[in-house]
Amino acid sequence: MNHYDIIIIGGGITGTAIAHECSKYKLTAALLERGTDIGIGATKGNGGVVHPGYDPTPGSLKAKINVQGANLYPKLAKDLNFGMINPGIFVIGFTDADEVALKHKLEFGIKNGVRDLAIINADQMRNREPHLAANAKHALYAPTATVVDPFEVAIAFAENAKANGVAILMSQPVTAIQKRRDGSFLINTPDRQLSCSYIVNAAGNHADNVASLAGISEYQMKPRHGDLLVLDKDMANKPQTVIFPCPRPDTKGIACIPTVHGNTIVGSTATMMDDKEAVNNYAPGIQALIDGVHKILPELDASKIIRTFAGLRPVVLDNNNDFFIAESQTVSGFIHAAGIQSPGVAAAPAIAEQVRDLLDNAGLKMIPKLDYNPYREKRIVFADLSIDQQDALIHQNPAYGRIVCRCETVTEGEIIDAIHGVIPAQTLDAVKRRTRAGMGRCQSGFCQYKVIAILSRELGLPVSDICLEDRGSQQLCGPVKGGVK
């Protein structure tokens, strides 16, 4: 049985950021993810805004960690080679009451240490966003705000952690946790037994369930559901800025968000739910998104919607909507990184530092590794290369000359790279998140059979075993006729 200093439970952006942080030190660590890929819970179900930190109440844990985390992003994006854009945020006010609220947010931001915030007038707003609603009067402008692809960030964290020695283990739902007499933990999954000295619980919406396996009942969780939708890259009057309406107490409101890849995301609604597994879209939510975004951008063309999706934000109940990052008071060596709702993407790298300090406090010696490699090689993105580079690449390897996904110009070479990557893509959606094959306007109608064939060939599995995402999500059954397997 393998013993680790640390086992991290949960491979979302929080867990992978923690794995990445741990990989900098002389210790042994493993990350257990219950799903078939990294970043497929709350991480893939949000808009990707790295909130700069004007929103949380000054003095809260969230306020501190939000700003710290957002400040870490530019360097991380460079070192780990993930996409990041800097569109800034407008929070739009329509009334005098809104202006008061915006000034309030400005104060929050200044107190929290957010740089370059300003209230701007209608002309200044329209200079940048000419299609804003006519009744928009003023905005809080946060020019430092960035946007990332959250699952790309999680994959980047996990890949760098793995390259620096952390074991990243997929399809490992934790079924039992036992605290032993010597203080160490015994962890069971359906096909493994592992032991460790410290547990970091980054299990997202299931953090309370994981804690209860260790006999901890310090908090309860419920998901706050959000519907989101994606618009085609090819759309007139695309916004250049992340645009929020003036926030209400329970939500930042329905925003439109330019993505790293040139799409526009509209999201999200906010409804407390009971079911932690129902990552569904709801008709009233989708309608609320369309109505909501039209209040900000009346001309936005809803016929350009190419996909709807949903996310469940993990909320720790009776915790003032704050994060819950602490060592358990009842079981020593068990660290919670729970309740990581919005702005979880922005906060992730700072949560990782906080958890490092908690581990250090709990007695784990954190000695920096001299051979730690902070860099992650940039993967080949054919569409981003110059024509001469493309030509040279095809001559090197003809697989880069075969387009599989026409909408996003993704080549077979890139798909093979993803399947054999540091964190290998084993499913259609894992390939999609890494390469964008199937992410475009035809939503894989033209390329799915090709990607299934490539996965089948590269993994040595029958096509009827290839899954969309989770176990049991095979897209195809057996042969129509004849003896073909």
Partner 1 sequence: MKQLHYDVVVIGGGPAGMAAALKAKEKGATVAIIERNEELGGILNQCIHSGFGLSYFKQELTGPEYAELFINQVIAAGIDVYLETMVIDLSRDRQVKAMNQAGMLLLCAGAIVLAMGCRERTRGAIKIPGSRPAGVLTAGLAQRYVNIENRKPGERIVILGSGDIGLIMARRLTLEGMEVLGVYELMPYANGLYRNIKNCLDDFDIPLHLSTTVTNIIGHPHLEAIEVAKVDENFKVIEDSREVIACDTLLLSIGLIPENELSQKSGVSLNPRTNGPLVNEALETDQPGIFACGNVLHVHDLVDNVTLEAEAAGAAAATYALQQKAEAAVGEKRLAENKYSIPLVAGENVGYTVPAKLTSPTQKAGRILFRVRKPLENAAVIIQSGEKTIFQGKPRAFKPSVMEAVQLSPDQINELTAMCDQNSGGQPIIVAVQEVNQ
The only residue of 305, 331, 366, 381 in contact with partner 1, by rule CB under 8 A: 305
Q: How far is the CB of 470 from partner 1 (least distance, A)?
A: 4
Give the rounded distance of the alpha carbon of 431 from its chain centre: 16
Interacting residues of 111 by C-beta distance below 8 A, sequence separation 6+: 58, 63
Compare residues 147 and 407 and give the one whose CB is closer to partner 1.
Answer: 407
Three-class secondary structure of residue 120 per DSSP = strand
Q: Which of residues 378-407 bind partner 1 (CB under 8 A)?
A: 387-388, 390-391, 394-395, 398, 401-403, 406-407
Binding of partner 1 at residue 282 (CB under 8 A)? yes
The only residue of 28, 124, 251, 409 in contact with partner 1, by rule CB under 8 A: 409
Q: How far is the CB of 48 from partner 1 (least distance, A)?
A: 18
Binding of partner 1 at residue 481 (CB under 8 A)? yes
Binding of partner 1 at residue 5 (CB under 8 A)? no
Strands 146-148 and 84-85: antiparallel
How many CB atoms are closer than 10 A to CB 445? 11
Q: How far is the CB of 307 from partner 1 (least distance, A)?
A: 4
Binding of partner 1 at residue 430 (CB under 8 A)? no
The only residue of 124, 184, 188, 464 in contact with partner 1, by rule CB under 8 A: 464
The only residue of 97, 100, 176, 278 in contact with partner 1, by rule CB under 8 A: 278
Compare residues 318 and 388 and give the one whose CB is closer to partner 1.
Answer: 388
Compare residues 114 and 393 and give the one whose CB is closer to partner 1.
Answer: 393
Binding of partner 1 at residue 49 (CB under 8 A)? no
Instruction: For 234-245, give one letter per residue: b (16+ CB within 10 A) or e.
Output: ebeebbebbbbb
Binding of partner 1 at residue 306 (CB under 8 A)? yes
Q: How far is the CB of 372 from partner 1 (least distance, A)?
A: 37
Q: What is the 3-state secondary structure (H, E, C) of 156-174?
A: HHHHHHHHCCCEEECCCCC
How many CB atoms are closer than 10 A to CB 327? 16
Binding of partner 1 at residue 283 (CB under 8 A)? yes
Query: Residue 410 has what DSSP assignment?
Result: E
Gap between the Cα atoms of 125 and 476, Å rounded: 50
Closest CA to 294 of 321, 266, 275: 266
Binding of partner 1 at residue 294 (CB under 8 A)? no
Six token digits for residue 206: 């299931």
Size of the site for partner 1 (CB under 8 A): 59
Compare residues 28 and 443 and give the one whose CB is closer to partner 1.
Answer: 443
Interacting residues of 230 by C-beta distance below 8 A, sequence separation 6+: 259, 263, 264, 265, 305, 306, 307, 308, 309
Binding of partner 1 at residue 309 (CB under 8 A)? yes
Binding of partner 1 at residue 270 (CB under 8 A)? no
Bridge partners, residue 49, by sequence = 147
**CA distance readout (Å), 4 to 120, 154, 335:** 52, 22, 15
What are the catalytic residues?
A: 51
Compare residues 368 and 482 and give the one whose CB is closer to partner 1.
Answer: 482
CB contact at 8 A, 209 and 203? yes
Q: How far is the CB of 437 from partner 1 (least distance, A)?
A: 14
**CA distance readout (Å), 367 to 22, 121, 350, 360, 406:** 10, 51, 19, 10, 48
322: exposed, middle or buried (C-beta count within 10 Å: 0-12, 13-18, 19+)? middle
Q: Which of residues 223-262 bind partner 1 (CB under 8 A)?
A: 229-230, 234
Closest CA to 468 of 440, 484, 441, 444: 444
- Helix H or strand E encompassing 432: helix 428-435
Binding of partner 1 at residue 274 (CB under 8 A)? no
Q: How far is the CB of 312 from partner 1 (least distance, A)?
A: 13
Q: How far is the CB of 310 from partner 1 (least distance, A)?
A: 8
464 prior amide bond cis, ω within 30: no
Q: How far is the CB of 222 from partner 1 (least distance, A)?
A: 19
Compare residues 249 and 482 and give the one whose CB is closer to partner 1.
Answer: 482
Compare residues 180 and 481 and give the one whose CB is closer to partner 1.
Answer: 481
Compare residues 328 and 427 and give the one whose CB is closer to partner 1.
Answer: 427
Applying CB under 8 A, the span of 76-84, 132-140, 334-342, 442-450 interacting with partner 1 comes to 442-450
Q: What is the dihedral of CA 119, 121, 127, 128, to 10 degrees?
A: 30
The only residue of 116, 272, 445, 457 in contact with partner 1, by rule CB under 8 A: 445
Compare residues 251 and 281 and give the one whose CB is closer to partner 1.
Answer: 281
Gap between the Cα atoms of 431 and 468, Å rounded: 10
Q: How far is the CB of 308 from partner 1 (least distance, A)?
A: 6
Gap between the Cα atoms of 147 and 260, Å rounded: 7
Residues that bind partner 1 (CB under 8 A): 229-230, 234, 277-283, 285-286, 303, 305-309, 387-388, 390-391, 394-395, 398, 401-403, 406-407, 409, 441-446, 448-449, 453, 463-464, 467-482, 484
